[in-house]
Structure 1
Amino acid sequence: MRSDKYQRSKKRKRIRWSSIFLLLILLVGAMFIYAYMQYRSGVNQSEKGTEPKKQEYQFNGERDRNGLTNILLIGSDARGDEPSRSDTIMIASYNPDKESYKLTSIMRDTYVEIPGHGMNKINAALAFGGPELLRQTIKDNFDISLQYYSIVNFEGFVRLIDEAFPDGVKVDVEKKMSKGIGVTLEPGVQRLDGKHLLGYVRFRQDAVGDFGRVERQQSVLKEVGKEFASIQTLPKLPKLIGVVSPFVNTNMNTGDILYMGKGLISKENRDIETMRIPVEGLFENQRVSGAGAVLAIDLEANRQALQEFLAK
């Protein structure tokens, strides 16, 4: 009798756990279906009225020896199939052990040796040989391994901001800006939509030139990271990837992006450490025949500073 009750109880427990397991499978499946549908919705939304055409690039990415995931971020002003110099060069570094994020801006006028092309501004490497040559240039000069690349055109940036932040991104515009950016910005704290935010991070027609532009780019990316966290954007992430994907040329897959992005937007006040190359005091402004105004850097000192920044 007691044995029969025990067997019935054991059977009920097996049924209960089987039901829970089945429910978990259904929930996970539903989540994947939802994520995919959101991703496709974003892609379809961005592709309306556009004919995205992505050039295929070779990229011999390497894992960083310290376990970091380093991504070469390129903002390009390309028009059609024309070769283009990189408008923005950044290294985004993700440390999976610490779940920390770092962002390094390399100023486009930094004067370095480009493999096979001699000394030139670093932003010329993209036009000479695509992201692979830019990767080699950074590796040869700074001894930093880059595993992934991502080329983002300006339209993709605008669409991502407008989709993620319908009310705009909070920015303190420090002065009136209009020359060369296609919009007019008045000074003061305000929320900017994608088009005006793009103008803000591209402006460099003042006394500080590209130095101010790099500082604004880093400041905006940190603010965007905070606002992502504050509005708990994780459920929207698949759609946001879909919205921007037609305007991004990358060797990263959606899973890589979700894995690295979830930590950034799922915790409040996520801090992104930033750095600029060349480091203050470790370069000189020079004019070089054929290249124009360049930043002649103390290569060894800048290389060491960058490696220490990423390693700590």
Structure 2
Amino acid sequence: MLLVLFLLFLIIGTGVASYEYMAGKRDAMGESEGNLEESQYKNDFQGVDNKDGKTTVLLLGIDKNEKEEVRRTDTIMIAQYEPGEKKAKLASLMRDTYVNIPGHGYNKLNAAFALGGPELLRQTIEENFGISTEYYSIIDFDGFTHIVDTVAPEGIEVDIDHRMYHKGAVDLQPGTQKLHGEELLGYARYRGDADSDFGRVNRQQEVIKLMKDEVVSAKGLLKVPRLVGTIQPYIDTNISNSKMVGLGKDFIFNAPENIETLRIPVEGSYWDERYSHAGSVLAHDEQVNREALQEFLGLKEENTTN
């Protein structure tokens, strides 16, 4: 997800509007029934840029093919980019984390999206962790498969340490192998082993780093115009074009070498609980995780000073 955001920064910042960009966009539009190009939630989202030199984005992954009336986001991340320090950070928030949703009481974190979209999720994160995200970006998982197949037609090399199988979704054998878009998505979303959602979060962060290495390679950069045109229809964001241009320029000249990662709840701070209204949840030490996320993003002082 962070990769998609940085790709948008990069392409708009360079001002490239080439044939490859438009060709990629046409290809994507031709294969999808509807898209996320126009923001559905922009007018509701109340995130504010606090002018601290850091861009903090709520990144959400959804599956548009889900046949559910009430949709819950499968992936919840907070991405932060600080061009002056050449830093990029990515915090994954476990979707089953038991939190207080403003106006609705305690429930799973991803229930906030179902109840009130990215704005209620933003409020929930601020209420529970003291972090206010400035922007949001919702990314359809179909876009991820297009990224992989465009930037790495021969696949991305992954070291799989155990058999992964889920009927109709993933069927992978142990060993080092190259995965194409659908396979890599299945790898990143797999939760059928003992690690469940924890393993999935780790693999999602691993895949983002692998994709980042592919994109910043010489061959990958040549494919960026077509790549961004391909994925744009799968994104819903409130980041304005002018903001994109500024971030793009910063990213070109201050590209981060690594992506720092964190998972919330942190190790040793959570336990399983079950409630009739929410099902199985991750209860957690709220203060420990609030402080951990603030410290990781370097926003503790700003968010705890009233």
Provide TM-score, normalisation by structure 2.
0.84
Aligned equivalent of 2:40, options 56, 64, 67: 56
Q: For the residues of structure 2 that align with 1:268 and 1:70, how far apart are their CA atoms?
A: 16
Maintained 8 Å contact 2:75/2:95? yes
How much does 1:233 deviate? 3.2
Q: For the residues of structure 2 that align with 1:286 and 1:247, how far apart are their CA atoms?
A: 35
Does 2:70 correspond to 1:83? yes
Maintained 8 Å contact 1:283/1:296? yes
Deviation by residue 1:182-233 (Cα, 9 ceiling, x = unmatched): 1311111111111000000110011111111101111111111122222353
Q: For the residues of structure 2 that align with 1:173 and 1:40, how far apart are their CA atoms?
A: 36
Does 2:175 correspond to 1:188? yes
Does 2:206 correspond to 1:224? no
Maintained 8 Å contact 2:86/2:256? no
Maintained 8 Å contact 2:88/2:256? no
- Partner SS, residue 35 of structure 1: coil
Residue type of the partner of 2:229?
Answer: G
Maintained 8 Å contact 1:232/1:265? no
Q: What's the counterpart of residue 270 of structure 1?
A: 257
How much does 1:163 deviate? 0.8
Q: For the residues of structure 2 that align with 1:75 and 1:106, how far apart are their CA atoms?
A: 12
Maintained 8 Å contact 1:72/1:150? yes
Residue type of the partner of 1:118?
Answer: G
Residue type of the partner of 2:179?
Answer: L
Deviation by residue 1:136-163 (Cα, 9 ceiling, x = unmatched): 1111111112111111112111111111
Q: For the residues of structure 1 that align with 2:197 and 2:275, how far apart are their CA atoms?
A: 18
Q: What's the counterpart of residue 301 of structure 1?
A: 288
The structure that has the greater radius of gyration is 1
Q: How does 1:1-312 map to 2 (within 5 A)?
A: 32=15, 34-54=16-36, 56-57=40-41, 58-64=44-50, 66-78=52-64, 79=66, 82-179=69-166, 182-231=169-218, 233-253=220-240, 256-257=243-244, 260=247, 270-311=257-298
When the two chains are superposed, the root-mean-square deviation of aligned CA atoms in Å is 2.4
How much does 1:252 deviate? 2.2
Residue type of the partner of 1:51?
Answer: E
Maintained 8 Å contact 1:150/1:248? yes
How many residues are treated as equivalent by the alignment? 281
Maintained 8 Å contact 2:83/2:255? no
List runs of 5+ in structure 2 lacking aligned partners: 1-13, 300-306
- Partner SS, residue 303 of structure 1: helix
List runs of 5+ in structure 1 lacking aligned partners: 1-30
Question: Structure 1's 64 and 309: CA in aligned 2 closer, same or farther, altered over 3 A?
Answer: farther
Maintained 8 Å contact 2:63/2:142? no
Q: For the residues of structure 2 that align with 1:269 and 1:119, how far apart are their CA atoms?
A: 37
Moved more, 229-238 or 37-46: 229-238
Maintained 8 Å contact 2:55/2:80? yes
